[in-house]
Structure 1
Amino acid sequence: MSNMCSKPDKINPLPECEADVIDNRTLGECRNWPKYPRPNYGPLVAKIPVVLSEFVVQICIKSDVRLEEPALDIKRIKKHVYLTQCKLIPKTNKLLIEGFIRKNIEYSTVECRPDNSCISGAIRHSTCKVPFECCTDVKFLRYPEFTKREPQKEVEIFDPELLGKRTDEQTFLDFEPFNEEVRCELVWAKIAEEEEEGRQTPVSGDSFENTFQTFTEKVVLLLKIKLLQDQQVFIPYCDLKDNKDAMTFKEYDPMEDVKEANEE
């Protein structure tokens, strides 16, 4: 009687992989104790960041990008915005903005076409930095504080012997103020773009598919920017008796942390 079951084909063992889980641990839970903030009640003077202006600026960018290899299509572009300079010119409302859009471009290539139905290739990537710069006018909610430097002053010393100015001694007075810098905070960035493929090259044996190596991007970049400067601000007294959130605040006690640490 013949055997109805055929012997399975011999399977070659797979090579061992270098990738492995080196270390694995399960972390236990740590306890915590909620604490109420302990502020100093007013009136007081605090030095805090003050919002000078908050606005949205629009920047239009056009860039031509050349890929490393001809692409069949672009699969994905990951974009991140970075500011390298955001500088307010003192005593003016001019803000200079410089930065770049970091783009990681993933695209498919054509390596082979075994038949009339399929095109095969690898996924490649290119990372490009598209720079931008502009100057915009700022409308201030509160003006920045700048103290100008006074001109040098000379103090005249009286000479009782000459009954006039001493010529062998000079005294000067200089006043050099140091102002707080106006800094930028990038709140959010929004990118709207359109891509136009460059010169098309037909894939061999296929009149429908084409490859390209360059493309043009037209970008509308929106940036929400907040201008801040550290200023001294007067905080008045606030009566929390009728405030429903009054129980969440306690008078500041510098020894309270020490007491709680000793009790727990």
Structure 2
Amino acid sequence: MGKHDDSGKFRVEYYCDGKDDDDKHHHKHDKDDHKKPPSNSCSVGDVHVFGTSSIETIFPKTIKVPVTLAETSVVVCVEANMNLEKPATEIIRAWKSAIIEQCELVPTFNPYSAKLFVKGFIRKNIEYATVDHTSPSSVCGDIRHMTAFLPFDFCTDITFPQTGPSLQLSPDFSSSGALANHCGNGAQINTGLFSNRQVYNEKPFCELIYTEFTELDIGKNLKNVSGFVQSFTSVQEKIVLRIGLKILQNQQVPLPVICPTPPPPPPPKCNKKW
């Protein structure tokens, strides 16, 4: 059903009629009733954005560069068992490298000390000689390889010097307050003052400087093959790893002030008469 409103515009109205009792179920429906949120739903309204102005502009004479906070050396011991695909008579060659997956610096209650959490793994590749055929005078086989990933993790202390570069972390803060009511005998419950400041600090990071390995490989499950030759099906690894790490943080470093070189003095005047 449609009708004209006071402004002269034509408005569409909808009515629903009940089957049992038309008088009780005869009411009006707006066209967009199904789009309106319920009265108890969450919503935001009356949002106003005001103009902003720059209060202060700073042009610091600094440069942002990675600053070395500390260098540390940590010794890690790793033990593992490696099962070979085929029985081996000897290990021909072995390569090892360390990969750091996680290096996180966590401040402590002392501003000049922190905890360094490191997690990674050793990638070890070995080549070994297998046994296929034997005779009283020889042993024949293929050269195979195996790559193993041996995980490790540790936590170590880092102490920063009080006179040198140290970890720079500006803290956040928040505050709140209340206003007194008109009678002066209490606070206004429906009004509050809140303030907070969040600083986005530079996260420290690590760099791997060097790695050193010493190890002992022990063949297990020995079995006589021919004469004095024995084969083994597993290798027990005992590795001592030394890791050199550098901890850095991007910081603002002042630029050096270079004074201009004064001009050379003028040559002396010669008053000699010829």
**1:107 corresponds to which letter in structure 2?**
Y
What is aligned with 1:229? 249
Q: Which amino acid aligns with 2:248?
A: L
Paired with 2:97 and 2:260, the residues of 1 have a C-alpha distance of: 45
Whole-Å separation in 2 of the counterparts to 1:111 and 1:126: 18
3-state SS, counterpart of residue 78 of structure 2: strand
The AA in structure 2 aligned to 1:196 is I
Shift of 1:117: 2.3
How far apart in 2 are the matches of 1:208 and 1:105?
23
Q: Which residue of 2 aligns with 1:124?
A: 144
165, 168, 184: which one pairs with 2:206? Answer: 184
- The structure whose Rg is larger is 2
Shift of residue 176 of structure 1? 1.7
Which residue among 41, 45, 50 is the counterpart of 2:67?
Answer: 50
Secondary structure of the residue aligned to 1:145 is coil
Distance 1:225 1:94 in 2: 13
Give distance in 2, aligned partners of 1:191 and 1:121: 30
Aligned to 2:119: 98
CA–CA separation in structure 1 for the residues paired with 2:235 and 2:128: 12
Q: Summarize the Cα distance change of 1:193–1:239 in structure 2 as closer, same or farther, 3 Å threshold.
A: farther
Partner of 1:64: 81
Contact kept, 8 Å, 2:78 with 2:152, in 1: the verdict is yes
SS in 1 for 2:203: coil
Contact 2:136 2:227 (C-alpha < 8 Å) held by counterparts: no
- C-alpha distance in structure 2 between counterparts of 1:240 and 1:216, whole Å: 67
1:225-249: CA deviations, max 9, x gaps?
000011111122135869xxxxxxx
Q: Structure 2 residue aligned with 1:149, among 159, 163, 172?
A: 172
Q: Who is 2:234 aligned against?
A: 214
Partner of 1:167: 189
Any stretches of 5+ residues in structure 2 without a counterpart? 1-59, 263-274
Question: What percent identity do the matched residue pairs reach?
Answer: 34
CA distance in 1: counterparts of 2:224 and 2:101, whole angstroms:
41
The structure whose RCO (Cα within 8 Å, separation 6+) is larger is: 1
- Structure 1 residue aligned with 2:96: 79
* Cα RMSD after superposing both structures: 2.2
Normalized per residue, the structure richer in strand is: 2
Scaled by the length of structure 1, the TM-score of the pair is: 0.67
Task: Output the CA distance in 2 between the equivalents of 1:75 and 1:127.
Answer: 14
Q: Per-residue displacement from partner, 1:84-131 (whole Å, max 9, x unpaired)? A: 111111234211111110111211111112x42221111111111111
Aligned residue type for 2:204: V
3-state SS, counterpart of residue 97 of structure 1: strand
Unaligned 5+ runs, structure 1? 1-42, 243-264
- The alignment status of 1:194 with 2:207, answered yes or no, reads no
TM-score (norm 2): 0.65
1:34 alignment counterpart? none
